Amino acid sequence: MVAGLKEQWCFAVRNAGWTPELKDDLLQVVSTLVKGSLLQPLFRALRVHQTASGHQASIDELTLDALTAGEVVVRTLWAGLNYKDSLAVTGAAKVVSGYPRVPGIELVGVVESSDVAGITPGEEVLVHGFQTGIEFDGGLAERVRVRAQHVMPIPAGLSAFETAVLGVPGFTVAMALERFEAHSLTPAAGPIVVNGAAGAVGISALAILARAGYQTVALTRRSSSIDTLKQLGASEVLVADVFLNQTRPLEKGRFAAAIDNVGGDTLSWMLRSLLDHGQLASVGNASGIGFSCNVLPFILRQATMFGIAANAPWPVRHRLWARLATDWKPDIGALMRHVHECALDDVPARAAAQIAGQSAGRTLVKFNSA
Ligand SMILES: NC(=O)c1ccc[n+]([C@@H]2O[C@H](COP(=O)([O-])OP(=O)(O)OC[C@H]3O[C@@H](n4cnc5c(N)ncnc54)[C@H](OP(=O)(O)O)[C@@H]3O)[C@@H](O)[C@H]2O)c1
């Protein structure tokens, strides 16, 4: 087939006076080549593989055919590197559902081609959740092929970059805040405590809650973070060594609500420190999945604890992104000071640092087209 095509091209080049029939034949040939994989441009993607010796991450050169199916091809501008992505990249936990897989649960990019009406080339879009980077190839690639029903236009009121800065961490905080308010939380009820405060969800929580009018208390392991967390809006910063010495069944009631990114002893302390009718949103497990507590916060203070999964149906997504673009839109400039851009090649090292608890702030993988 390829040899035949070459012959036709050579024949055409040798004969300046092309016949109409030959022109038609050549057009047909070129169109076949473009649709097939032979002339598909290569792009770079970080993929995880299962090998005989275990898990391996590598930067591979791919064509679109290598990706999971979808009607929309997106040229990636930024992909957030979330804790879950770092687990997938390092193999520290089994996150992806099959191999090889491009991890990356969120991305912002520009539509390059689309087989569906309503999503047009050139449009800036956001993709997160819906098993992106888990069951479907995700954002850690220069090109992403996605199902049309997973694609969302950049919310009105946010730029593509602002949307990338907020990403899954911002959406997660918005889910928790909406649930708190549905259970009658108002700023007058008292402060909201946030642990893992120097992490991506933590900084987003401090900035978004400040914008929404709440007082916040930040919990961190690092005394070096005190000033920066205050600049983000925390009215008080508590360092872990101090509060974790407290082990009473109920601590002094101080917080109207809590966002837990960490699990373990710090989750237990926050639960035991809730005010009457206090609420705790369990978001993450940066220190592990276990925790030990007792029933007194629930019985004596009528506390509520619930979980958040940042993978919501469309009405919730539209509603929360609209709020993140308006009355909950945080000071993006302040958040930006905690955003670290990196290249795709840096991802394995960044992911290892995040899993070791050595990273801080939000990491955005920036692609050449951004
Ligand atoms: N439920 C959902 O839908 C959802 C969405 C997003 C994220 N998450 C989860 O939420 C958690 C936080 O996500 P993230 O993106 O903020 O992660 P991150 O950027 O890595 O931040 C985690 C923070 O937790 C603290 N931390 C890390 N290791 C710790 C340890 N061993 N002991 C105590 N504290 C530790 C650190 O804060 P300090 O330095 O301030 O102590 C760190 O900055 C992760 O478990 C993630 O998977 C869940």
Calpha distance 128→119 (Å, rounded): 16
Tens of pLDDT, residue by residue over 20-48, are 565 666 555 555 555 555 568 999 999 99
- Residue 3, pLDDT > 60, answer no
Task: Give the residue from 195, 360, 201 showing the smallest Cα distance to 266.
Answer: 195
pLDDT of residue 53: 82
Reported as type and span, the H/E element at residue 67 is none
What pLDDT, in 10s, does the model give residues 164-204? 999 999 999 999 999 999 999 999 999 999 999 999 999 99
Q: Which ligand 1 atom is the nearest neighbour of the CA of 169?
A: 6
- Helix, strand, or coil here: 20? helix
As a whole number, the mean pLDDT across the chain is 92
Summarised one tens digit per residue, pLDDT across range 72-105 is 999 999 999 999 999 999 999 999 999 999 999 9
If you average pLDDT over residues 125-132, what whole number do you get? Answer: 98
360 pocket-lining for ligand 1 (C-beta < 6 Å): yes
> 344 CA distance to ligand 1 centroid (A)?
21
Cα-to-centroid distance, 233 and ligand 1 (Å): 19
Burial class (CB in 10 A: 0-12, 13-18, 19+), 48: buried
Q: 245 Cβ partners below 8 Å, 6+ apart?
A: none
Q: Are 370 and 78 in contact (CB under 8 A)?
A: yes
Q: Which atom of ligand 1 is nearest to the CA of 204?
A: 16
Q: Which atom of ligand 1 is nearest to the CA of 311?
A: 3
d(CA 218, CA 210): 12
Out of 220, 242, 262, 320, mutate this one to test ligand 1's pocket (max ligand atoms within 8 Å of CB): namely: 262
Candidate from 261, 287, 289 with most ligand 1 atoms within 8 A of CB, to mutate: 261
CA distance 262 to 284: 5
- Cβ-based burial of 267 (10 A; exposed 0-12, middle 13-18, buried ≥19): buried
Return the residue matching tokens 């791919």: 62
272 C-alpha to ligand 1 centroid (Å): 20
Structure tokens at 308: 């958040």
The answer to whether residues 216 and 231 touch, using CB atoms and an 8 Å cutoff, is: no
Virtual torsion, Cα 209, 170, 302, 183, nearest 10 deg:
80
Dihedral sign from CA coordinates of 325, 162, 336, 178: positive
* Dihedral angle sign, alpha carbons of residues 63, 67, 72, 75: negative
Q: How many residues does the chain have?
A: 370
